[in-house]
Structure 1
Amino acid sequence: MRGAQDSASGRGQVRATPGNLITVNPNEVHDGRPVAGESRTWRMLYLDPALIAQTAKAMGHSPQAEFIYPVLNHPSAVGAFHRLYAALTTSALGPRHEILDQELFQILTPLFGKSPAIQLPLLSKELARAKERIDAHPEVPVTLAELAAEAGLSPFHFLRAFKAATQLPPHAYRLQRQLQMARRLIMSGHSVLSAAYLAGFADQSHLTRHFAATYGLTPGSLSRSRRLQLRRPDEEMMAISQTQRG
């Protein structure tokens, strides 16, 4: 997050700078020294080796597969790490079980190296069904395993295909549909609290955080703007009436 460090790893000396992922395999000797004596800050997750082995197998790798990059500059994987970290350490960010597998796959893909290729054009019908399910009911949480089972694919292959088709993993795609649903509800007259509930958000603050990040304004601001727009025609008619009386 800040600062830089030099460290030993199973693959020699490496340097990590802000925005890099640092990985350590089980039983690997490692250390860390600040560059130029400056302080460092980072965010860290300890992942159970059994979970990594299970995920590696699902991705077509050996369960004994190790991370091949002690330091990785990969913006997509870094973004996935931040989302996973937030889901595991912050309350009211949505169903954690929906996020865990999807973000973990995206983090591990570059760390393990190339994965077996899949034929994306053959998956169009399955992807369409999954997309339609999310579009129809974005307020309903759905796991990667559920979507993959309906498509008859492994979760990892389904995730890769869905992201290739929509540019987003399923949970992020559902979040965008939730936000659109909440926006429509607010514009139709629902309160922010009601819109948050109906669109499937954990609470009003959960909606507000994501809404502001996506649209650049809070749902409360949108609601107030709508009320002002509805009030103006009445005020204009009143002003016209007063002018006519005068």
Structure 2
Amino acid sequence: MAGTEAMALQSEHTFPRHSHDHFGIGVISQGAQRSWSLLGQIEAGPEDVIIVNPGEVHDGMPLKGARSWQMVYLEPELLWQELRMERSDADAVLKPLVRDNSLSHRLFQLFFALHQTKVEPGFLEETLLQCLMHLCHHHLLTLAFPPNMTPTIQRAKQYLDDAPSRQTSLSELATLCGLSRFQLLRSFAREVGMTPHAYLMQLRVRNARQWLAKGNSVADAAVMSGFADQSHLTRAFSRQMGITPARYQKAILL
């Protein structure tokens, strides 16, 4: 399906805090992990369904060795279409951790089919949409106090969003917001969930993924995304994604 991307990974890697533009749904197949979510710390084990809402800050660390999981990321509009069918509450999001045997079984069916050399596209699409329908019907979460961002930090975030490849210092960002560097660092981390530099790095990795998916070389993707060089991109990409840019590109362009 256009706008979707699937990933299977087995890793002991600890992922730093980051977020995605896309909605993500997956299932743990082996091992366990602890991660940050909109509800605070959660722990997921075998057959637990893990969910990432668009823009939700999260991380991930293994518990007692490597864990294996499979995820599918999709354009938020697919999710929002189903949410509109269920309810009109703009603050509704999906729970970051779900224990639902029916849903995990359906996800395992989806990922098993994705590994096959021959599979009916209609089956994949139908199974994925059934998962979304089930989620939106049974596992919606309405936040009592939706997180708000102060205008000052919103301005700083928007400045980074507008030009991630631009070289921006903490002092420059603080001056833009009329804050000291310490005030900006403390407030940004509290309201966004990560520091300005960490947020900027995830934006650049996100852009690099798009360049790589279009067939650009790793070196060119690094330059176009604002990294100092290819090795800088590789370090940041591997830290956030758990795989190297070259390996990601090889898989995505198959």
Is the shorter-chain TM-score for this pair beyond 0.5, marking a shared fold?
no
Higher strand share: 2
Higher helix share: 1
Determine which structure has more spread, i.e. the larger CA radius of gyration. 1
Higher relative contact order (CA 8 A, sep 6+): 2
